[in-house]
Structure 1
Amino acid sequence: MSHQPLVPAYGTSTIADVVPSVAASLGVDGWPDALGLPAASRWVILLVDGLGAHNLADAAEHAPFLMSLVGADASTTVTSGVPSTTATSITCLGTGLTPGQHGIVGYAFRNPIDCGCLNALAWAPGVSALDLQPRLTAFEKLSRQGVTLTSVSPARFEGSGLTEAGLRGARFQPVPDEDDHAARIQWTVDAAASGDRSLVYLYERSLDHTGHGQGWRSDAWRAALARIDTMARTLRAALPADIRLLITGDHGMMDSPKDRWIVAEDVPGLTDGLTLLAGEGRFRQLYAEPRDVDAVLARWRKKLGERAWVVRREEAIEADWFGFVEKRVLDRYGDVLVAMRGDWALMTRTQPNEFGLIGMHGSLTEREMRVPVLIA
């Protein structure tokens, strides 16, 4: 087990630095090029949900095209934000902001409107994306600066809370059939050719879905990786040479066997004093009344020991887990944060659907945090 969490270097090498670096490559004024990308007037970003750098390296034989780009000019690795989860990382990508700035602070967290639990993937009825994320996205800013932006994403995500919070500003090209790679590639090629300068965001989620259900070590996960590798190769061949392709992920994945699960409600006294238990199996956010926070912190540290990093919210902020945290975002984070170490998971009976998972993510381990940035 690593003794220290992998803390993002915001402004230097995180998923939030990708689009600003692409903007600098496009020649748009005022954007920092943290990643040193080659100059180009057209870019496609292929975001493969669940593509961790370590997962890819360990399954290299199933992804010959992607592996051929590792070590190529400008290819590198970055980290996700914290927690290392889709809702947070995709919002980092589309906004160019740290989690503490954009406020989508995890998979599930305290809703600042009604203080209930907000699932950032399913969203809540009556909650506007602008209520939770009022900052201009990087896509909105670039659109105002003359870049043509398109999001090629599953049709079901059109107008969703997460799409509007993190990716607004791009024209939405719905994909009704995600298995129709030819159609997705053609839409991407057409969108990339639009306008004088263009950026296309193409989202692929099958790897993450397969990993959650069957584990990243499974044959099914490797087969999904191979299909994505073929799609990426075909996409690169279909794009004109002057259009650059950037392939990245939003987080990696850790398989957690059931004998490494701690069920919160089954540990005597563990949930005492909590007003809300949110987050996900690898990164839990604990909310309590101010008078109970010290006791909650002590209890969870004692019960979990070396199986987790258990910290106060203030400790995590001081350690820069979330980048700069705006005041409006502060109370969305748990009073106590539990980031699991090794392959442990912290489960809760309030979320029974999570008991079907094998692959998980959210914590600050190398495997979950580090993602590739591959340039083709």
Structure 2
Amino acid sequence: MTSPEGGGPGTPAPLAPLPPSAPLPASAASDLVLPRYGAGALSDVVPSALAALGVEGEHDLLGLPPSDRYVVMLVDGLGWHLLHRHAEDAPFLTGEGRIRRSLTVGAPSTTSTSLASLGTGLPPGRHGIVGYTMAIPGTDRLLNTLRWDTTVEPLVWQPHQTAFERGVQAGVAVTTVSRKAFRGSGITVAGLRGGEFVPADSAGQATAGTVEASRRGDRSLVYLYEGDLDWTGHRAGVNSPAWRHQLSALDHFAARLRSALPADVVLLVTGDHGMLDVAPDRRVDVDSAPQLRAGVRMVGGDPRLRYLYTHEGAAGDVVATWRERLGDGALVLGRDEAIATGWFGEVEDRVRPRIGDVVIAALDETAVECRRDFPMEPLMVGWHGSLTAEEMLVPLVVAD
């Protein structure tokens, strides 16, 4: 039987390089956008809003207008480049003066990591949600951070006080408006705890819940989550008519929300990551050749920022194998190298083993799938997770 990569029975196939893509600069790392933790990152949004609300000890790093009431709307999958590319589909969000600047998200550029960064005000290396899936140290299991493992205590996994909790402590009426299924979930408790939770499973419920919550107390902060744009991008792709229609629907929702909110409320809109489409011939399956699995005991992360957890002493060989396979399509680093880049910010000792022994960061339209362990991956059109500008940059929209 011939292997998927070619070659005869029992003979490891030669590792064919990926087909050519857009030319890359001489230095692969120059294609990456480094997170601007403390200088214009997603993790700076809530601390800056608290400072604008007058909370002592908080710092406005983003130049937000002073107000007694803030709504922070996070749109899953709203990238800086995507919004500008399709500005005609989002006239409210891209209205004159509303897009104040770009923000970087953290690494990986994936939802669970970004939600925890937003809620805690910390980089991933401190809050510890360093991927969609990541190793549970001391086990051969992965933690799926959007589904969560009931044997993992969220308050132990992420022990730091959140920015929302600091707001409550300072007397701010803090409210989360999100899907009912997210109430009490692992990621909510770990990264977004603090204040009241208002369930909302429709645009109407989200609008009404946000407006009511914004009127609470003398000072209020409302966090609103919207996830349909990301869902559409994953399944139809960001270059699809469906995605553009969803962006238009989002824009109408944001405009209606702004008109329904009290005049003294400042509405911020941002994203948790961008997205790009990955063609079938740019995808590599971990199980497509025996060499690619050699030395690997577990696969985590995302297809655009893959974590390989290796057997003891195998990391160096795994790095070499994957560098040969992916060539200029990805940056393949050992864990210590990846941490030294600053991608995760300061990394606490308890967090280090959650990051893969080998980290694969896609540079172009490459994705590293693990179809055996994650059978949904080949069905997705749009992806995110790596450190390219398309994935890392999100807008900061201010509608006051």
Classify the TM-score, shorter chain.
over 0.9
Q: After superposition, where does 1:53-132 map in structure 2 within 5 Å?
A: 53-68=80-95, 71-72=97-98, 75-112=100-137, 114-132=139-157
Q: After superposition, where does 1:266-305 map in structure 2 within 5 Å?
A: 266-305=288-327
Q: Bigger shift: 229-238 or 296-305? A: 296-305
Number of the residue aligned with 2:188: 163
Number of the residue aligned with 2:381: 358
| Partner Cα separation in structure 1 for residue 205 and residue 141 of structure 2 | 40
| Partner Cα separation in structure 1 for residue 138 and residue 174 of structure 2 | 31
| Partner Cα separation in structure 2 for residue 346 and residue 43 of structure 1 | 40
SS of equivalent to 2:234: helix
Q: Quote how far apart the aligned CAs of 1:366 are.
A: 0.1
| Partner Cα separation in structure 2 for residue 169 and residue 100 of structure 1 | 21
Give, as a single letter, the amino acid of the residue that structure 1 aligns with 2:336. Answer: E
| Partner Cα separation in structure 1 for residue 328 and residue 312 of structure 2 | 26
| Partner Cα separation in structure 1 for residue 103 and residue 144 of structure 2 | 26
Q: After superposition, where does 1:292-331 map in structure 2 within 5 Å?
A: 292-331=314-353
Please tell me whether residue 339 in structure 1 is matched to residue 349 in structure 2: no
Number of the residue aligned with 1:134: 159
| Partner Cα separation in structure 2 for residue 303 and residue 113 of structure 1 | 30
Number of the residue aligned with 1:32: 59
Give, as a single letter, the amino acid of the residue that structure 2 aligns with 1:151. Answer: T
Please tell me whether residue 262 in structure 1 is matched to residue 284 in structure 2: yes
Unmatched 5+ stretches in structure 1: none
Alignment: residue pair count: 371
| Partner Cα separation in structure 1 for residue 271 and residue 56 of structure 2 | 26
Please tell me whether residue 206 in structure 1 is matched to residue 231 in structure 2: no
Partner deviation per Cα, 1:34-88 (whole Å, 9 max, x = no partner): 111111110001110000010111111110001115x44x811101100000000
| Partner Cα separation in structure 1 for residue 153 and residue 195 of structure 2 | 18
Please tell me whether residue 150 in structure 1 is matched to residue 175 in structure 2: yes
Number of the residue aligned with 1:7: 34
Partner deviation per Cα, 1:178-236 (whole Å, 9 max, x = no partner): 2xx23321111110110111100011000000000000111111111111100100111
Give, as a single letter, the amino acid of the residue that structure 2 aligns with 1:111. Answer: I
SS of equivalent to 2:221: strand
| Partner Cα separation in structure 2 for residue 184 and residue 122 of structure 1 | 22
| Partner Cα separation in structure 1 for residue 59 and residue 325 of structure 2 | 44
Give, as a single letter, the amino acid of the residue that structure 2 aligns with 1:216. Answer: V
| Partner Cα separation in structure 2 for residue 355 and residue 122 of structure 1 | 20
Unmatched 5+ stretches in structure 2: 1-23
Give, as a single letter, the amino acid of the residue that structure 2 aligns with 1:107. Answer: Y
Q: Bigger shift: 206-215 or 114-123? A: 114-123
| Partner Cα separation in structure 1 for residue 213 and residue 228 of structure 2 | 22
Partner deviation per Cα, 1:84-127 (whole Å, 9 max, x = no partner): 00000010000001100000000000013634111111111222
Give, as a single letter, the amino acid of the residue that structure 2 aligns with 1:20. Answer: P
Partner deviation per Cα, 1:248-290 (whole Å, 9 max, x = no partner): 0000001001111111111340110012111111110011134
**What's the RMSD between the two structures over aligned residues?**
1.2
Runs of 4+ in 1 over 6 A off after TM superposition: none
Please tell me whether residue 246 in structure 1 is matched to residue 273 in structure 2: no
| Partner Cα separation in structure 1 for residue 324 and residue 271 of structure 2 | 35
TM-score, length-scaled by structure 1: 0.96
TM-score, length-scaled by structure 2: 0.91
Give, as a single letter, the amino acid of the residue that structure 2 aligns with 1:267. Answer: A
| Partner Cα separation in structure 1 for residue 150 and residue 54 of structure 2 | 40
Larger radius of gyration: 2
| Partner Cα separation in structure 2 for residue 138 and residue 21 of structure 1 | 10
Q: Quote how far apart the aligned CAs of 1:7 are.
A: 0.8
Partner deviation per Cα, 1:138-174 (whole Å, 9 max, x = no partner): 1111111111100000001111001111110021101
